[in-house]
Amino acid sequence: MQTALYPGTFDPMTHGHLDIMERALRLFDSLIVAVAVNPYKHPLFTVEERVEMIQEETESWERIRVEPFDGLLIEYAHNMGAQSIIRGLRAVSDFEYEFQMALTNRSLDSSIETVFLMPSEQYTYLNSTIVKEIAHLGGNVSQFVPKGVERRLREKLPQPEHE
Ligand code: ADP
């Protein structure tokens, strides 16, 4: 039984994140999506909201569960029985940080392997920050996030008044 852990802030989840989850499920028997509390990143959504948004979207998927987590990722992965950590790799700009993280995690626990997956090309430029900026300015984010996330963004962000 091969279990992978996909950690992130998911503030909020985008189609890029979903793309990575689908790919991971093709490789692993089960996937745990671990939503980091990450208070120092000052997320727009609470960890409970971020977990709920992913749960709503993956409700009908088997072999996946979504959990909040706090603390040291590698310890959490170990405690959850995961053999691998999944990270999405978009552009070269992701590489340096991800490389550093993967090697640091390996030095903390060499039994857990980090696996990088590339999303479909159309999502390579997509990130949660851009989505929040567009939504904040009243733009249409329907091509970037599922409907439920779009609704929550509208509720959360004050919309600019158009003349
Ligand atoms: P973190 O704070 O851990 O970077 P994110 O929610 O931004 O949290 O990202 C979680 C993981 O998902 C990271 O590995 C990131 O590279 C990946 N990811 C984010 N957006 C995309 C996307 N559009 N396509 C592929 N992977 C993505």
Delimit the domains of the chain by residue range. Answer: 3-124
Alpha-carbon dihedral angle through residues 143, 146, 151, 155, given to the nearest 10 degrees:
-90
Instruction: Using most ligand atoms within 8 A of CB, pick from 37, 49, 87, 145 the residue to mutate for ligand 1.
Output: 87
> What global pTM score does this model have?
0.95
Per the annotation, the verdict on 30 as an active-site residue is no
Catalytic residue among 17, 23, 50, 132: 17
Per the annotation, the verdict on 90 as an active-site residue is yes
Ligand 1 midpoint to CA 12 (Å): 10
pLDDT per residue as tens digits for the range 44-102: 999 999 999 999 999 999 999 999 999 999 999 999 999 999 999 998 888 999 999 99
DSSP H stretches of helix in the chain: 15-27, 47-58, 73-79, 92-108, 128-136, 147-156
Reply yes or no on domain 3-124 having CATH 3.50.50.60. Answer: no
